[in-house]
Amino acid sequence: MIEDAGLQMDGIIWFRKNIEVPSSSLAKAATISLGAIDDSDKVYINGTLVGGTEKDYLAHRVYKIPSGVLKAGNNTIAVRVEDTGGGGGIWGKKEQLFLKAGQFSVSLAGDWKYEVESDYSKNAKSVFEDKSLAQLLVETYINEVDLGSESSSDGTANAVVITIKTIKNEMKYDLTEFVVEAGKAVELVFENTDFMQHNLVITKVGEKEKVGMAADKLAMDPNGEENNYVPEMSEVLFATAIINPEERVVLRFNAPKEPGDYPYICTFPGHWRIMQGVMKVIKPD
Ligand SMILES: [Cu+2]
d(CA 66, ligand 1 centre) in Å: 35
Quick one: 71 and 161 in the same domain?
A: no
Quick one: 151 and 245 in the same domain?
A: yes
Task: Identify whether 219 is part of a domain.
Answer: yes
d(CA 195, ligand 1 centre) in Å: 10
pTM: 0.56
95-117: per-residue pLDDT in tens? Answer: 888 999 999 999 988 777 777 66
Task: Identify whether 68 is part of a domain.
Answer: yes
Quick one: 208 and 91 in the same domain?
A: no
Quick one: 161 and 270 in the same domain?
A: yes
Residue 125 has pLDDT above 90, yes or no: no
Task: Identify whether 261 is part of a domain.
Answer: yes
d(CA 39, ligand 1 centre) in Å: 20
Q: Which CATH number is 113's domain given?
A: 2.60.120.260
Quick one: 116 and 162 in the same domain?
A: no
Helix 118-127 to helix 133-140 angle (10° resolution) is: 60
Quick one: 101 and 219 in the same domain?
A: no
Residue 205 has pLDDT above 60, yes or no: yes
d(CA 283, ligand 1 centre) in Å: 30
Residue 161 has pLDDT above 80, yes or no: yes
d(CA 48, ligand 1 centre) in Å: 30
d(CA 265, ligand 1 centre) in Å: 8
Last residue of one domain, picked from the residues 121, 156, 183: 121
d(CA 285, ligand 1 centre) in Å: 35
Mean residue pLDDT of the chain comes to 80
Among 48-52, 144-148, 178-182, 189-193, which stretch is predicted with the lowest mean pLDDT? 144-148
Last residue of one domain, picked from the residues 88, 121, 154: 121
Q: Of the candidates 173, 169, 172, which has an alpha carbon nearest to the alpha carbon of residue 16?
A: 169
94 three-state secondary structure: helix
d(CA 206, ligand 1 centre) in Å: 20
By the CB criterion, residues less than 5 angstroms from ion ligand 1 are: 198, 266, 268, 271, 275
Quick one: 6 and 83 in the same domain?
A: yes
d(CA 216, ligand 1 centre) in Å: 12
Task: Identify whether 244 is part of a domain.
Answer: yes
Check: CB of residue 94 under 8 Å from CB of residue 107: yes
d(CA 62, ligand 1 centre) in Å: 27
Task: Identify whether 151 is part of a domain.
Answer: yes
Alpha helices in 43-199 (DSSP H): 118-127, 133-140
d(CA 199, ligand 1 centre) in Å: 6
Question: Exposed, middle or buried by CB within 10 Å (0-12, 13-18, 19+), for 160?
Answer: middle
Quick one: 111 and 149 in the same domain?
A: no
Residue 145 has pLDDT above 90, yes or no: no
Quick one: 177 and 271 in the same domain?
A: yes
More confident position, 136 or 249: 249
Domain span at residue 254 reads 145-282
Quick one: 169 and 242 in the same domain?
A: yes
Quick one: 153 and 275 in the same domain?
A: yes
Q: Of the candidates 177, 166, 186, which has an alpha carbon nearest to the alpha carbon of residue 247?
A: 166
d(CA 197, ligand 1 centre) in Å: 6
Last residue of one domain, picked from the residues 72, 87, 121: 121
Task: Identify whether 134 is part of a domain.
Answer: no
Domain count, the chain: 2
18-52: per-residue pLDDT in tens? Answer: 999 999 999 889 999 998 887 789 999 998 999 99
d(CA 171, ligand 1 centre) in Å: 6
Quick one: 149 and 115 in the same domain?
A: no
Question: Exposed, middle or buried by CB within 10 Å (0-12, 13-18, 19+), for 268?
Answer: buried
